[in-house]
């Protein structure tokens, strides 16, 4: 029994070390900050004109656009790939002055939703007898956010900037 008591702390420490080794690496360690970026495009237009073209590009693809600021455009589009799944794609375009006209920055954020259901139960309590919980027939369904990530696919941004360039011509 004495050996088993001494062995338990060793097993606990080994278990904690193994658990620490299996934790995921922090994301910021894989961030490369490359000088060539798929999120950037150049235009010879003035910033407000370049963003107006970007706004038209998003509108032409069915995005809902918020255009309160002439040099920063936000658009969103909703997708439903399956009956119980939804995706929202948010695109932000920022147009800043540069030595050649405008540098246009784009960023897309994909948010995933799943339909989750829950049922309610109700309890009835009778004095002297006790309480009983009964399932309630109503089911409540709601879209629940299950993930969110920045779209980093260079081809996505190439297609977006190609459309903006085509409309700018």
CATH of residue 28's domain is: 3.30.310.80
Mean pLDDT for the stretch of residues 85-98: 97
**Residue whose structure tokens are 């829950």:** 118
Q: Please indicate, yes or no, if residue 93 is contained in any of the structural domains.
A: yes
Q: Please indicate, yes or no, if residue 92 is contained in any of the structural domains.
A: yes
* CA torsion, ordered 85, 90, 91, 92, to nearest 10 deg: -170
pLDDT at 93: 97
CA distance 49 to 44: 10
Supply the range of the domain harboring residue 99: 22-113+146-168
Mean pLDDT for the stretch of residues 74-92: 95
pLDDT at 46: 96
Q: Please indicate, yes or no, if residue 11 is contained in any of the structural domains.
A: no
pLDDT at 133: 60
Q: For residue 56, give Cα distances in angstroms to 45, 53, 63, 115.
A: 15, 5, 10, 33
Among 23-27, 67-71, 99-103, whose mean pLDDT is lowest? 23-27
Q: Please indicate, yes or no, if residue 134 is contained in any of the structural domains.
A: no
Q: Please indicate, yes or no, if residue 141 is contained in any of the structural domains.
A: no
User: In terms of Cα–Cα distance, which of 111, 112, 110, 114 is closest to 142?
Assistant: 114
Domains contained in the chain, number: 1
For the cut 80, the answer to whether the pLDDT of residue 51 exceeds it is yes
For the cut 60, the answer to whether the pLDDT of residue 24 exceeds it is yes
Q: Please indicate, yes or no, if residue 62 is contained in any of the structural domains.
A: yes
Q: Please indicate, yes or no, if residue 125 is contained in any of the structural domains.
A: no
Mean pLDDT for the stretch of residues 21-50: 87
Find out whether 164 and 57 touch, Cβ atoms under 8 Å: yes
**Residue whose structure tokens are 């002055």:** 97
What are the pLDDT digits (tens) for 125-149? 666 666 666 555 556 788 899 999 9
Q: Please indicate, yes or no, if residue 8 is contained in any of the structural domains.
A: no
- Confidence class of residue 95 from pLDDT cuts 50, 70 and 90? very high
Average pLDDT over the chain reads 85
């Amino acid at each position: 029994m004495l050996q088993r008591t001494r062995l338990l702390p060793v097993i606990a420490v080994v278990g904690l070390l193994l658990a620490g080794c299996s934790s995921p690496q922090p994301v910021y360690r894989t961030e490369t900050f490359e000088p060539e970026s798929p999120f950037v495009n150049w235009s010879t237009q003035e910033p407000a004109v370049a963003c107006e073209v970007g706004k038209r590009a998003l509108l032409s693809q069915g995005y809902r656009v918020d255009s309160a600021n002439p040099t920063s455009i936000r658009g969103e589009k909703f997708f439903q790939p399956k009956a119980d799944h939804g995706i929202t794609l948010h695109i932000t375009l920022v147009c800043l002055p540069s030595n050649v006209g405008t540098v246009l920055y784009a960023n897309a954020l994909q948010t995933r939703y799943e339909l989750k259901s829950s049922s309610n139960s109700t309890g009835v309590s009778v004095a002297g007898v006790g309480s009983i919980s009964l399932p309630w027939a109503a089911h409540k369904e709601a879209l629940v956010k299950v993930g969110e990530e920045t779209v980093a696919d260079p081809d996505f941004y190439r297609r977006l900037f190609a459309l903006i360039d085509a409309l700018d011509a």
